[in-house]
Structure 1
Amino acid sequence: MKEITAVGQTVEEALQSALKQLKATEEQVEIDILDEGKKGLFGLFGQRPASIRVRRKADPIDEAKSYILSIAAHLGVHPDIHVEKQGKQVTFSLSGEKMALLIGKRGQTLNSLQQLTQLVINRHSNDFIHFKLDAGNYRKKREETLTALAKRMAKKAETTRKPVRLEPLPAAERKVIHAALAANRQVRTFSEGTEPNRYTVIAPRNK
């Protein structure tokens, strides 16, 4: 039950009745007053009850889950979704069969789905929510792969004394490269190019 019409001797009485039926708080609903009611003469003649329409506000997380499940269903995937909330950070972790279809080549499908779901979840939220989407623990595996790549390319830059240019990566993945080499005093990292073809350069430090 997401919407009901309730009546009472007053608007407040009708509202309390609706909240009880919806099992919701006043902050979780939207209210339309259909009729403020009328007390009537001497409280008897011409009396008319107050009438309101009350509906639950859309829950950002529920809307985001529904969106992801609908997209996944079109791909023939039916994932389980684990939700983790930390302040204004919300993370969805997908698990189940055929996760590769949701991840795509080098995470491209997963990244696109994350961006689209971020729009959905914030369309239904008063406060901005930082949204992160993972599937089959891909993010951790990808971070490990990028960290290993960064170290190999740093060694190449040190040996050849020439800059090494990596392939274009999303901003979050370039950040992993920078973080992996932040403590390396033999090389420096920086990004060049424009999105979506912006890439990271690993260059030897001048001695």
Structure 2
Amino acid sequence: MIKEAFGKGATTEAAIEAAKSELAAPEDADVKFEVLKTAKKKTLGLFGGSLAEVRAYYEVPDEIKKPEPKPVKNQQPAKNEKKAEPKKQEIKKESVSDKKVSSAEEERTVGEASKAAEKYIKSILDGMGVQDAKITSNEDSESVYVQLDCGSDYGYVIGRRGETLDAIQYLTRLVINKGKDNYKRVSINAGNYREKREDTLRELARKNAARVKKYGRNVCLDPMNPYERRIIHTTVQEIEGVDSHSIGSESDRRVVITLAEGFKATNPSNGRGRRGDYRRNDGRSRSKTTEAPSRAPRSDLEGTLYGKIEPKAKEE
């Protein structure tokens, strides 16, 4: 076995002394030295230069290890002594009572969002001065559904094109999902407004799709929320010869109905320059004009913009 140590110094002699001191070999040891690196002087006494490095080592005879005594073998157990059997891992079975408790907790969790939605919507309606409004709700694992029956105040709660109802729905969704891990959608209906609005949008999509197929000119609809745009897109997909896509951003996002690729308009010469058309000229310009209303707008409070809004019929 070889023991070694290293030393550094300004000169080779200094490095040897440092290595000997580090090695601490006995006086009778045959110490040998190996110069690994010689010292270099600094340029102008300021730059560069390096220390000398020396390795000192000597050989030590290996120690002869004495054989360790072999351990005495344990006596064999008596024949009548039984070996300990490994314990079987106990598998706990969920009792019926535990299942009932977990299902009850799940029901409470499911009902929590709908109750919070009802409470918040009632506070909004009270602030709007809507009296005797009836609020019913139900929910599943993904959504909360709320039905409002407002008597003669439907137009006030719904607003122009459902803007007030959509705002209440948006705020309610924020409230019930605040601080929750499982996000839930919220759908609020006042009377049968959602059904009537869906019918109106589908008819609007079919009417403008027929116009595009006839004249071959794109039609750009008014801005809509994502739910209403989805209804338009779904209806257009069912009509052969036309496509649809959305343009704009945020509150100004709207649907454009176009002639499908490979289809030709049935009467392309007519309809040129009509008001309300969405025109394109190689993507360089577009224009949309609207007629000024010829009469005063109908009152939102009376609900006449949507026809007669009635309480949703109960399923028998």
- How far off is 1:100 after superposition? 1.4
Structure 2 CA distance for aligned equivalents of residues 111 and 119 of structure 1: 13
- Tell whether the 8 Å contact from 2:220 to 2:255 is kept in structure 1 after alignment: yes
- How far off is 1:206 after superposition? 3.0
Match of residue 171, structure 1, among 212, 216, 226:
226
Answer yes or no: is 1:122 the counterpart of 2:177: yes
- Tell whether the 8 Å contact from 1:59 to 1:124 is kept in structure 2 after alignment: no
- How far off is 1:125 after superposition? 4.0
* Residue-pair matches, total: 155
- How far off is 1:124 after superposition? 6.0
TM-score of the pair, normalised by structure 2: 0.46
Please show how residues 176-191 of structure 1 align to structure 2 within 5 Å.
176-191=231-246
- How far off is 1:27 after superposition? 8.5
Q: Could you say which residue in structure 2 is the equivalent of 1:91? A: 145
Q: Could you say which residue in structure 1 is the equivalent of 2:168? A: 113
Larger CA Rg, structure 1 vs 2: 2
- How far off is 1:179 after superposition? 0.5
Unaligned runs of at least 5 residues, structure 1: 1-24, 30-57
Cα-to-partner distance string for 1:9-28 (whole Å, 9 max, x where unaligned): xxxxxxxxxxxxxxxx8889
- How far off is 1:165 after superposition? 0.5
Structure 2 CA distance for aligned equivalents of residues 191 and 26 of structure 1: 43
Cα-to-partner distance string for 1:112-138 (whole Å, 9 max, x where unaligned): 100000011112644211111111121
DSSP-derived class of the 1:77 partner: coil
- How far off is 1:63 after superposition? 2.2
TM-score of the pair, normalised by structure 1: 0.69
**RMSD (Å) for aligned C-alpha atoms:** 2.1
CA 1:61/1:124 → structure 2, altered by over 3 Å: closer, same or farther?
A: farther
Q: Could you say which residue in structure 2 is the equivalent of 1:67? A: 120
- Report the structure, 1 or 2, having the larger helix content: 1
Identity between Structure 1 and Structure 2 (%) = 34
CA 1:160/1:27 → structure 2, altered by over 3 Å: closer, same or farther?
A: closer
- Report the structure, 1 or 2, having the larger strand content: 1
- Tell whether the 8 Å contact from 1:93 to 1:137 is kept in structure 2 after alignment: no
Q: Where does structure 1 differ by over 4 angstroms across 4 or more consecutive aligned residues?
A: 25-29
